[in-house]
Structure 1
Amino acid sequence: MLRPWLRQSPRAARSLVGSQCRQPHSSRFPTLPYNYLKSLPVRNLQTSAAESQDRVPLRKQLKQSAKSLKAEKRQKREEEEASRQKWELTVGVEIHAQLNTENKLFSRAPTSSTDLPNSNVALFDLAFPGSQPEFQIPTLLPALRAAIALNCDIQPVSKFDRKHYFYQDQPAGYQITQYYEPFARNGYIDLFSHDGIAPEDGDRIRIGIKQVQLEQDTAKSQEYPPSTQLLDFNRVSHPLIEIITMPQIHNPATAAACVRKIQSILQSCNAVTTGMELGGLRADVNVSIRQRGEAAGTHQYGGIGGLGQRTEIKNLSSFKAVEDAIIAEKNRQISVLESGGVVEGETRGWTIGSTETRKLRGKEGEVDYRYMPDPDLPPLVIGADLVAELRNTLPTPSDELYQLLMSKEYGLSIEDAKPMVELDDGVRLEYYQDVVDLLRDLQQDQDPKSRGGLARVAGNWVLHELGGLLTKADLSWDPTRVPALSLAQIIDFLQRKRITGPTARQVLAMVFDGDARPIPQLLEEESLLLRPLSREEYIALAEDALGQNPPMVEQIRTKNQLGKLGWFVGQMMRTGEKGRVEAPKADAILRELIFGDSPS
């Protein structure tokens, strides 16, 4: 290895080497042939500096590599998606929802499943020999409310059938359902862009509902590895409705939106008590693909009516699972067909977080289930007067409420209208409408133009200001905590500019925390009413604030950096008497002092 002195420069190194070659016995430098040393590469300082400038830091290299990899994956994904555009996806949805009833469908046992396992069962639930089903009439009412809300035709006469299969969660060896003659047919739901449908479906799409049928639930099984499985029969014969849509969905996002909308409808009409998040609603999806443009009845992959061979994915327990499972199954079927294979009719499963569906069993059909009329249950007869009474007492559909809230009367955006309708089972919406009515009465003496936006202002206070206090305190909605009149009066004082925005929030928090004084009295006793500052007082505060940061004043004046005015407004509000400094007036005075008589 060359010593450090050899790295100084080629000329210096060679002169030193030559000198040492003439003194072969020197102990300071080694004796090396001159021609050998001359042939060695010597690093040039100028070249080294250039190389160091071109060298890319490791962190930057890793960042560039990650960015390139992400771009490659995106391009690959886009290419795969483009190659799959020739395939059309078709989805049908089956939803099983537990009805809001006190008794089971065919026994007088209670439907509660929160007690000890196997404590809410009747002999029929356990299929004891000789026990008979006894249809519980009250279970029909929530089912009818659901079917009417889904725009179905209620059948005057319907019948029960037995669906035969053996599994440990079905003690009788068959399940009672309505297959051939259900109690409701030919319904539909409308999905809109605000429901989360795919952009390809436009602003609105209608999905047909083939039928709604009554059905008994099965037992709940609990596995304990490696080989133990326990059964809880509390859930057996819990009343269900099965909602079967037409195969008219062609996007995974729209399928998830469909399930979400149906759950919302069932909850709004009090047909169910819980949704997917608590296990009260489960979805199965039937998925098939075909080449675009194929005529009905000519499908080459074994489907019916021009649709591809369908597979069913069972027991999806979240909206995201519905979307993800459909995407995974669509991709699987495309891969099978493009590789020359054939899609089999199967029942498949899905695990949250997975990327592929898994086969559970071959798909059963009519013949496998051996459907037959139940000999122990008479036909179910539903009177037109009962249907009419239920139809008249149903709550207003959510879509109509959205339209009302977004109309000129209220003027809310869809982002505010949706939570107003969906939160707290409609109680928050009623509270909001009370606030708006009271506020309009209080503001009758004001200019009609200024009263035009009252409903939007009230919506902001109900949803965000009062809603934020409830969220922070981790409390459920309680309309008595801040009476509607109190909130309307707070907004009225704010609109009249008798209090500032911060003061209004302070008063709302005081009422929320239990202050029961009437709003006018509270404002007077706490000296919270706005006493406007004079022009001279604003100028004094502004000059004091500007004097704290002359460099920033110069930047605003010379570089027109108006965004920095907010800092000075904040200083004026902090140094001024609490609640008296109005931000718009402070901003105007600051501009006048900085820019003179003609502010830019």
Structure 2
Amino acid sequence: MARIPTAELSRYLLSGQINRQGCLRLRRTPFLPRRPPCHNIRPLSTTTPPTSPAVVVVPLRKQLKDQAKALKSSGSSPRKKKKNSDNQTVPGWELTVGIEIHAQLNTSRKLFSPALVPESSLEEKPNTHVSPFDLAIPGSQPLFQPDTLIPAVRAALALNCEIEPVSYFDRKHYFHWDQPAGYQITQFYHPFARHGKIVLYSRDGIAAEDGDRIEVGIQQVQMEQDTAKTLAQPGGVNWLDFNRVGVPLIEIITRPEIHHPATAAALVRKVQMLLGAVDACTSGLEAGGLRADVNVSVRRPGEDKKLGQRTEIKNLSSFKAVEDAIIAERDRQIAVLEAGGTVAGETRGWSLGGTETRRLRGKEGEVDYRYMPDPDLGAVVIGKDLVEFLGRSMGVLPDEEVEGLMGRYGLTAKDAMALMLLDEGGRVEYFYEVLGELEGRLGGEGKGEGSYALLAANWCLHELGKLTEGEDAEPRTGLVTEFVAAGDLAAILYHLHRRKITAKTAKALLWGVFNCEVAPGGVTDAIERGGLWFQELSEEEYAMLADKVVEGEEGVLAEFLRFKQGKSKGYPQGKLMFLVGKMMKMGPEQNLDPASVKRVLGERIEGVYLPQLEGEEK
């Protein structure tokens, strides 16, 4: 048979056009009915027909909210269920979970072809980043791209794995339209990394039942190629975008050593943080750069020596989905076993905002995939010198970073973790930049490092977040830190720390910078032009204002006197804050410092008003 031209094969694979001459002609036979053409699968063209609806990408959070509203309006909203923190165990049953995490490596080339990895599947034109091998064109050969090893090894080292000096690729056979070759190239038998571990702490969000610390083993980390992207369209039509075929992935396989749903979610979150810290992964779970599959089984610990029959839940896209899906599948399996049934080994799915897992297909095993060594690829040899160099150059890992934020700067574990997780690690870098600018401005004026570090952390976490999350927030594309330069925030905090402006003025300046009403580097000029400098009242003026506030508040002062005389157990903090609020409203707000107001009121109550009350009682 004559060789078929590549252009002819391309038309067939990409457009469904068949040359009916020669061996490609479809003939009718009396014993083999002609197969109708398949119209429900077609490649995604670079131009969308005018009549085809545009594909709208809905953010994950909005999907969850819309589904919850739809359930509520339909009257089919499920009964209120337990909080996940109270639903980590079921008496008489033991849960066991193993996790498989697929992460896209941060490389510019695909795993086995020189085609460029698309930077964004939403912005790149479909089917423009493909090579003949990606489309399984006959005669094309895989060409391993050595650059993909760098982020893969860095990821394995961050997971405390042993790097294998020699590893091999295998073919995993299955037939689906998203895999043109009919097999996926992976590393099943001889992966490049083994025997790792992840240490999880209570601050990572593990279940209370696991105590303060738990270790989870990593069985292996293997490289493999991604599949095509399927876009479902109305009318049972599916479009295929082959840009994603061959994109380099690593699959991280844990040992079945997790026994609580919250700990499973914490592990996925920790892996994402580790991969981001060593620049190995392109993006996180909810952005699509990382996907999690969980294997769930249950057993009665006193009766069963072996683990129960496991089921796999595929493609979980958020940390909450990991925890919720495990709880739902655990409860389903327990109900089946308690009813006398048998848990089937199968692959199940999970919908966002759902309450139950659903069956997708029977579970494939090693025999079903017909693993075999890939005959077109040689061994991957990783030198010890490369491993040592990458180990030395990885920098500070998240646990060490969090300990430093807590120990050196006095941050709480919650705030330290939030800084690490926000913007995929970008927010903690921004915090260090702001802190450096602030330290340079303060020089020797700072009253201890922690005093202004906590102020900077609070604004980097909370005040910046208000710019895009409140009702008055303006929607922007990009990270909030891209609109507020670290130097401008440091200038605001410098004047606030030195009590030259009020907190209200500082927040107004931050909004001004964010909305481009304050020129870059022009914070101090804006304060000068607006006459925003804080001119605080004197001690005598504070005292006079406090006397006015306390007039007619004998009942409030009586509460303080009862506490002083031991007739009341708790200090009337609420009464004090009532007086503080009243004083802030009565006085000139632009000249009042809330801390000074609280201090002066406390001193006047203890030193003046209570002695007067005691004298009147006598």
Shift of 1:107: 1.6
- Asked if residue 433 in structure 1 is aligned to residue 432 in structure 2, the reply is yes
* 1:166 alignment partner in structure 2: 175
* 2:321 alignment partner in structure 1: 321
After superposition, where does 1:506-585 map in structure 2 within 5 Å? 506=508, 508=510, 513-515=517-519, 527-542=531-546, 545=549, 550=552, 553-560=553-560, 563=574, 566=577, 569-570=580-581, 572-574=583-585, 576-577=587-588, 579-585=590-596
- 1:564–1:162 distance in 2 versus 1, CA, 3 Å: same
Work out the number of aligned pairs and report it: 511
Q: Give the alignment partner of residue 147 of structure 1, picking from 156, 159, 172.
A: 156
* 1:138 alignment partner in structure 2: 147
- Partner Cα separation in structure 1 for residue 374 and residue 251 of structure 2: 18
- Partner Cα separation in structure 1 for residue 150 and residue 369 of structure 2: 29
Contact 1:538–1:589 (Cα < 8 Å) also in 2 = yes
* 2:15 alignment partner in structure 1: none
- Asked if residue 258 in structure 1 is aligned to residue 264 in structure 2, the reply is no
- Partner Cα separation in structure 2 for residue 225 and residue 480 of structure 1: 38
* Equivalent AA in structure 1 for residue 111 of structure 2: L
**TM-score scaled by structure 2?**
0.73
Shift of 1:535: 4.7
* Equivalent AA in structure 1 for residue 269 of structure 2: R
- Partner Cα separation in structure 2 for residue 441 and residue 81 of structure 1: 48
- Partner Cα separation in structure 2 for residue 345 and residue 317 of structure 1: 22
- Asked if residue 459 in structure 1 is aligned to residue 468 in structure 2, the reply is no
* 2:257 alignment partner in structure 1: 248
Shift of 1:226: 5.0
- 1:515–1:565 distance in 2 versus 1, CA, 3 Å: farther
Alignment deviations for residues 281-315 of structure 1 (CA, whole Å, 9 cap, x no partner) = 22221112222135xxx74xxxxxx2122222222
- Asked if residue 86 in structure 1 is aligned to residue 92 in structure 2, the reply is yes
- Asked if residue 271 in structure 1 is aligned to residue 280 in structure 2, the reply is yes
| CA RMSD between the two structures | 3.5
- Partner Cα separation in structure 1 for residue 456 and residue 227 of structure 2: 48
- 1:352–1:134 distance in 2 versus 1, CA, 3 Å: same
Contact 1:481–1:514 (Cα < 8 Å) also in 2 = no
* 2:352 alignment partner in structure 1: 352
* Equivalent AA in structure 1 for residue 451 of structure 2: G
* 1:364 alignment partner in structure 2: 364
Shift of 1:362: 2.5
Alignment deviations for residues 44-83 of structure 1 (CA, whole Å, 9 cap, x no partner) = xxxxxxxxxxxxxxxxxxxxxxxxx989x98xxx9x999x
* Equivalent AA in structure 1 for residue 537 of structure 2: L
Q: Give the alignment partner of residue 245 of structure 2, picking from 217, 236, 248.
A: 236
Contact 1:97–1:240 (Cα < 8 Å) also in 2 = yes
- 1:157–1:510 distance in 2 versus 1, CA, 3 Å: same
SS in 2 for 1:264: helix
- Partner Cα separation in structure 2 for residue 243 and residue 491 of structure 1: 43
Shift of 1:332: 2.3
Alignment deviations for residues 194-213 of structure 1 (CA, whole Å, 9 cap, x no partner) = 22211111111111111111
Where does structure 1 lack aligned partners over 5 or more consecutive residues? 1-68, 300-305
Shift of 1:142: 1.9
- Partner Cα separation in structure 1 for residue 128 and residue 527 of structure 2: 58
- Partner Cα separation in structure 1 for residue 233 and residue 505 of structure 2: 59
- 1:528–1:180 distance in 2 versus 1, CA, 3 Å: same
- Partner Cα separation in structure 1 for residue 613 and residue 402 of structure 2: 44
SS in 2 for 1:242: strand
- 1:171–1:587 distance in 2 versus 1, CA, 3 Å: closer
* 1:219 alignment partner in structure 2: 228
Alignment deviations for residues 118-153 of structure 1 (CA, whole Å, 9 cap, x no partner) = 332222222222221111222222222211211111
After superposition, where does 1:274-423 map in structure 2 within 5 Å? 274-294=283-303, 299=305, 306-407=306-407, 409-423=408-422
SS in 2 for 1:276: coil
- 1:574–1:139 distance in 2 versus 1, CA, 3 Å: same
- 1:290–1:588 distance in 2 versus 1, CA, 3 Å: closer
Percent of pairs with identical residues: 53
* Equivalent AA in structure 1 for residue 150 of structure 2: L
* Equivalent AA in structure 1 for residue 388 of structure 2: A
- Partner Cα separation in structure 2 for residue 477 and residue 119 of structure 1: 28
Where does structure 2 lack aligned partners over 5 or more consecutive residues? 1-77, 561-571
- Partner Cα separation in structure 2 for residue 138 and residue 495 of structure 1: 47
